[in-house]
């Protein structure tokens, strides 16, 4: 109908995907007409390099949903730690709660990660978010009705840990499907860390106020409501499913293949080992923050929220720095720096007798944890093969799953010897890991080639 009024579109004149096309003055039928030049070519809008992953619509949706959900999650974490300490008055039970919520990551993730390479990751993530909503909703009801006790808290934390054992590796590997350009993957991973730590700033601070005004149950209820945002963002995505391997009834063989690949590749093995040690010892200061706030400084829930917020500020600074990097070149050096900072920050909290030193120590540990975990995540994602991605990321999550063991040990040591000695031992462990990772990797030895056979003599 409009064929006589428009020229055939020249494919060489296609606009950049980073430019926002505007409607031509001729209405909907005028797009591509010679009479109405496209103003988008004159006024291109480019995304800043730090936010280049936002060029992908799916990632924008995910980022927004995550921001809302994680704010509620950090409110819930702060409220859980404070409630456990208020109910029992014992640092061991604080560590036990963290242990129960994360031990499934250590035990189950190597096996649950096989699922992510076989099914639609987006649909699986939606279902897992629904289960998480029901879990935290149950804790909110129990707390608001006055029926909560430490046993029920540990049981519900264990249930959430089982859900996370499926969700964490799938979410890590799903990032590849959300970005349109694979070159934006390091930026997307850094932005994930940024939103995680931006909400770590806001969530605990809000929780400290809400706990003092209305109690812990309100924080749990708000966390349950926040899951609606991430569920809606996942449902709104338009994702082209990644190729899946042919259906095979060999989950155990798939698991062994992923482990063998990571163990035999030094560029994957060394970051995974460092992540394991940092997860074991690097979160001890965070675990004992409630004990330090109350017993060392005589504070309450609001001081605990300030400690967590300072950690988030340091972590956000590190995440912004990593997000501005365009390549993985030089990243190993920053990971090494992060490992040394983890030891220094933990030791500062152990020795702190003034609030300014405690805040400085927590700030440094926030920087250190992100440099190590996000840096190692980026290196591994850049090096792993696509068909083994979820399984290797499952090993990454398993390494981070050592955190509950560290939390339990930190709580037990603090209960027996005090938080200062417990944190000093963790700092020594982190220092040893930093020194080991700083050593240059020994290249594999190659056997010398045998000498060539002498030339045959004529007549022989």
pLDDT tens, position by position, 266-291: 567 788 889 999 988 998 898 888 88
> Which pLDDT belongs to residue 222?
96
- The residue with tokens 């829930």 is 301
Query: Is there a single domain that holds both residue 70 and residue 35?
Result: no
Q: Look at residue 253 and tell me if it is in a domain.
A: no
Confidence of residue 41 (pLDDT cuts 50, 70, 90): very low
Query: Is there a single domain that holds both residue 68 and residue 204?
Result: yes
Query: Across residues 353-366, what is the average pLDDT?
Result: 94
CA separation for the pair 116, 108 (Å, rounded): 13
Query: Is there a single domain that holds both residue 14 and residue 105?
Result: no
> Which pLDDT belongs to residue 172?
77
Query: Is there a single domain that holds both residue 42 and residue 61?
Result: no
Quote the domain boundaries for residue 426.
265-388+415-439
Checking if the pLDDT of 83 tops 50, the result is yes
> Which pLDDT belongs to residue 457?
47
Query: Is there a single domain that holds both residue 279 and residue 228?
Result: no
Checking if the pLDDT of 249 tops 90, the result is no
Q: Look at residue 406 and tell me if it is in a domain.
A: no
Conformation bin of residue 242: beta by default, left when phi > 0, alpha when psi is -120 to 50: beta
Q: Look at residue 251 and tell me if it is in a domain.
A: no
Query: Is there a single domain that holds both residue 9 and residue 72?
Result: no
Domain count, the chain: 3
Query: Is there a single domain that holds both residue 64 and residue 191?
Result: yes
Q: Which two tokens stand for residue 228?
A: 């609606």
Q: Which two tokens stand for residue 292?
A: 């330090």
Q: What rounded mean pLDDT belongs to the chain?
A: 79
Query: Is there a single domain that holds both residue 234 and residue 293?
Result: no
Q: Look at residue 422 and tell me if it is in a domain.
A: yes
> Which pLDDT belongs to residue 445?
45
Which of the listed ranges 229-243, 342-356, 402-416 does the model predict with the highest average pLDDT? 342-356
Query: Is there a single domain that holds both residue 75 and residue 201?
Result: yes
- In a 13 Å sphere around the CA of 32, the CA atoms on its Cβ side amount to 12
CA–CA–CA angle 140, 143, 145 (5° rounding): 105
Q: Look at residue 51 and tell me if it is in a domain.
A: no
CA separation for the pair 420, 427 (Å, rounded): 11
Query: Is there a single domain that holds both residue 37 and residue 77?
Result: no
Query: Is there a single domain that holds both residue 188 and residue 89?
Result: yes
Q: Look at residue 410 and tell me if it is in a domain.
A: no
Query: Across residues 417-432, what is the average pLDDT?
Result: 92
Q: What is the pLDDT of residues 363-407, one digit of tens each?
A: 999 999 989 988 888 888 777 776 667 777 778 877 887 877 887
Q: Look at residue 400 and tell me if it is in a domain.
A: no
End-to-end, the C-alpha distance of the chain in Å comes to: 87
Q: Look at residue 393 and tell me if it is in a domain.
A: no
Query: Is there a single domain that holds both residue 373 and residue 296?
Result: yes
């Amino acid at each position: 109908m409009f064929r006589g009024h428009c020229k055939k579109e020249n494919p060489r004149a296609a606009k950049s995907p980073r430019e926002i096309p505007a409607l031509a003055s001729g209405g909907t039928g005028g797009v591509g007409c010679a009479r109405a030049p496209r103003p988008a070519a004159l006024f291109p809008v480019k995304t800043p390099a730090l936010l280049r992953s936002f060029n992908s619509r799916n990632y924008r949706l995910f980022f927004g949903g995550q921001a809302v959900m994680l704010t509620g999650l950090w409110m819930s974490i702060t409220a859980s730690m404070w409630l456990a300490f208020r109910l029992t008055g014992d640092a061991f039970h604080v560590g036990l709660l963290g242990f129960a919520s994360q031990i499934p990551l250590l035990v189950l993730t190597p096996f649950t990660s096989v699922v992510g390479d076989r099914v639609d990751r987006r649909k699986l993530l939606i279902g897992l978010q629904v289960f998480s909503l029901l879990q935290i909703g149950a804790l909110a009801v129990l707390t608001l009705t006055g029926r909560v006790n430490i046993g029920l808290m540990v049981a519900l934390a264990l249930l959430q840990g089982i859900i996370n054992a499926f969700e964490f590796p799938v979410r890590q590997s799903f990032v590849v499907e959300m970005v349109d350009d694979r070159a934006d993957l390091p930026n997307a991973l850094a932005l994930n860390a940024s939103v995680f730590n931006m909400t770590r700033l806001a969530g605990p601070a809000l929780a400290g106020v809400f706990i003092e005004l209305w109690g812990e149950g309100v924080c749990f209820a708000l966390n349950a409501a926040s899951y609606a945002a991430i569920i809606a963002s996942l449902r709104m995505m338009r994702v082209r499913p990644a190729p899946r391997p042919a259906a095979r009834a060999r989950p155990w063989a798939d698991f062994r293949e992923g482990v063998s690949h990571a163990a035999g590749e030094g560029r994957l093995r060394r970051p995974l080992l460092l992540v394991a040690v940092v997860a074991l010892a690097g979160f001890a200061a965070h675990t004992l923050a409630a004990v330090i706030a109350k017993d060392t400084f005589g504070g309450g829930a609001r001081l605990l929220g300030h400690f967590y917020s300072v950690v988030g500020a340091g972590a956000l600074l590190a995440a912004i720095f990593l997000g501005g990097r365009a390549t993985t070149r030089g990243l190993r050096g920053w990971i090494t720096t992060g490992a040394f900072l983890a030891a220094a920050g933990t030791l500062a909290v152990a020795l702190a007798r003034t609030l300014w030193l405690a805040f400085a120590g927590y700030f440094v540990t926030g920087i250190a944890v992100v440099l190590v975990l996000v840096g190692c995540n980026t290196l591994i994602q850049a090096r792993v093969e696509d068909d083994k991605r979820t399984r290797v990321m499952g090993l990454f999550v398993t390494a981070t799953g050592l955190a509950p063991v560290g939390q339990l040990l930190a709580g037990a040591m603090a209960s027996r010897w005090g938080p200062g000695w417990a944190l000093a031992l963790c700092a020594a462990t982190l220092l040893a890991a930093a020194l080991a990772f700083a050593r240059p990797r020994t290249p594999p030895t190659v056997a010398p080639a045998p000498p060539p056979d002498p030339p045959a003599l004529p007549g022989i």
